[in-house]
Amino acid sequence: MNRVQNAPQPAKLIPNLGLKHRNTFGFDASAELAYEITSPEQIPEVISTVTNQKLTWRVLGGGSNVILPKVLPGVTLLINITGQEIISSDDDATYLAVGGGVNWHELVAWTLENNLPGLENLALIPGTVGAAPIQNIGAYGVEIADYIDRIEAFDAKDQAFVTLTKDACHFAYRDSYFKQNPHRFIVTKVVFRIHKNWNARIHYADLAKQFTDNSNPSPEEIFLAVCKIRTHKLPDPKMIGNAGSFFQNPIVPNEQYETLLKAHADLVSYPDVTGKRKLAAGWLIDQCGFKGQRMGSVGIYENQALVLVNHGGGTAQDILGLAKCIQDKVRAKFGVSLQIEPNIL
């Protein structure tokens, strides 16, 4: 961590903070107590106070991958640590340090503006840089883990700042060491390793369709294509509440995949790095007739069965009730279990 010459200003304490505009589902939620964190140096004092008072706590970034109850008890930490800079370069890569509170999509756009291609497949994913490695966000054949060198965080268990190498992060499909140890780490900075040997990755079907007449698109063209696809498939949270893809694509053994394929010739799937098969959760849900359906104030988006939406006035209980209906029907029809992707707070 960089040393500071002067003691940082204490984190701002905000009681009864409304969170309706800090969660993309638009649930009418609030935080009993909230601290706005603008500098890593503010964190030790806040965690010490929370620990001494035996209060529950959690971190909230952009609120794009969470399901919030009506009231979040205890303390909510709002991570607003900003800034990005190129810190070094070698023959193979450029190293980029980014604050945990930086908007993810804005970072992707910034990298292209600064001739640092690689993250373009991850364009328009909502949320913050600090939250991205926790879930190991991914899209169109790329995961954030592919570009991480190390992560700086505050370890609330040991009350100390730590640096975790990529290997120490234990990245897997929508998983990480941070996710496996909830309420322990507060990500303050991510150092990316942006490879200089760039190659276009457009093998995913939806993306490949955008380049049938162009086998070698530029990073900027891929960025625009991904934005176009996501804008069509995913509703704008400002217009209709949602958290993007609600379920993970299930990974099944090859034997189960072959059995399913015999029964469903049009089954949509992709090879997985583990040697197993990744099924398209949206296709499974669509086959069960859920796309465009509504259950009270919540429902399934008409253009993408993988997206659950809040039409207005919905609650966490409503969306989880709908999710259970979907999980039950998919399990009954295909023998496959769907895992919820957003974090349930």
Q: What are phi and psi of 105, to 5 degrees?
A: -65, -40
Tokens read off for 25:
């589902």
Sheet holding 30-37, edge to edge: 12-18, 30-37, 71-79, 57-60
Cα 118 to Cα 103: distance, rounded to the nearest angstrom = 17
In the block, which residue shows the tokens 């799937």? 269
Q: Is 83 helix (H, G, I), strand (E, B) or coil?
A: coil
| Catalytic pick among 39, 58, 174, 193 | 174
| Catalytic pick among 41, 143, 152, 341 | 341
Mark whether 174 is an active-site residue: yes
Q: Is 328 helix (H, G, I), strand (E, B) or coil?
A: helix
Burial (CB < 10 A; 0-12, 13-18, 19+), residue 135, is: buried
Q: Which residues touch 61 (CB under 8 Å, ≥6 apart)?
A: 79, 100, 101, 127, 128, 130, 131
| Catalytic pick among 230, 245, 269, 277 | 245
Give CA 333 to chain center in angstroms.
Answer: 28
Instruction: Give one word for 170, left, alpha or beta, with left for phi > 0 and alpha for psi -120 to 50.
Output: left
Mark whether 245 is an active-site residue: yes
Say which amino acid occupies 326: I
Q: Are 210 and 225 in contact (CB under 8 A)?
A: yes
Active-site amino acid positions = 174, 245, 341
